[in-house]
């Protein structure tokens, strides 16, 4: 008897808005977290389709602009393929969320690295 393997997909586009993002990764045997600010942006459907055609179309996608971190900088330090995102109601509240996230990872004994323009 054989059992079919299941699977799932959460294909979708993240909504636009202000974000605080972080990535947890292991470096030198310790947990680390890159934390920074940015915004999720809306792109035309044709651009979204073009990008999906170059990757796995079943994956969800966030088109984000990171504050003070360029694409090449991000990819040079890209130690994790997943990002955790907290949507923030407006740009004024982002610092509070960023500080809270940094305090949380510090309390968990994860070394935090504030990336880009955090203006604290």
Condensed to tens digits (0 to 9), the pLDDT of residues 28-57 reads 999 999 999 999 999 999 999 998 898 877
**97 C-beta neighbours (distance < 10 Å), count:** 18
The burial class, CB within 10 Å (0-12 / 13-18 / 19+), for 52 is middle
Region of poorest pLDDT, from 20-24, 43-47, 58-62, 80-84:
80-84
Q: What is the dihedral of CA 70, 60, 31, 103, to 10 degrees?
A: 80
Mean pLDDT of 47-74: 86
Q: What pLDDT score was predicted for residue 7?
A: 65
Mean pLDDT of 77-89: 82
Question: Is beta strand 111-115 parallel, antiparallel or unpaired with respect to 64-66?
Answer: unpaired
Q: Is residue 61 scored above 70 in pLDDT?
A: yes
């Amino acid at each position: 008897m054989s059992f079919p393997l299941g699977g799932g997909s959460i294909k979708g586009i993240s909504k636009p808005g202000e974000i605080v993002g972080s990535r947890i990764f292991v470096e030198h045997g310790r947990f680390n977290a890159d934390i920074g600010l940015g915004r999720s942006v809306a792109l035309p459907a044709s651009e979204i389709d073009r990008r999906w055609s170059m990757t796995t179309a079943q994956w969800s996608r966030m088109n984000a602009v990171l504050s003070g971190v360029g694409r090449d900088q991000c990819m040079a330090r890209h130690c994790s393929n997943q990002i955790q995102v907290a949507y923030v109601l407006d740009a004024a509240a982002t610092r509070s969320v960023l500080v809270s996230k940094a305090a949380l990872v510090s309390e968990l004994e994860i070394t935090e690295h504030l990336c880009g323009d955090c203006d604290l």
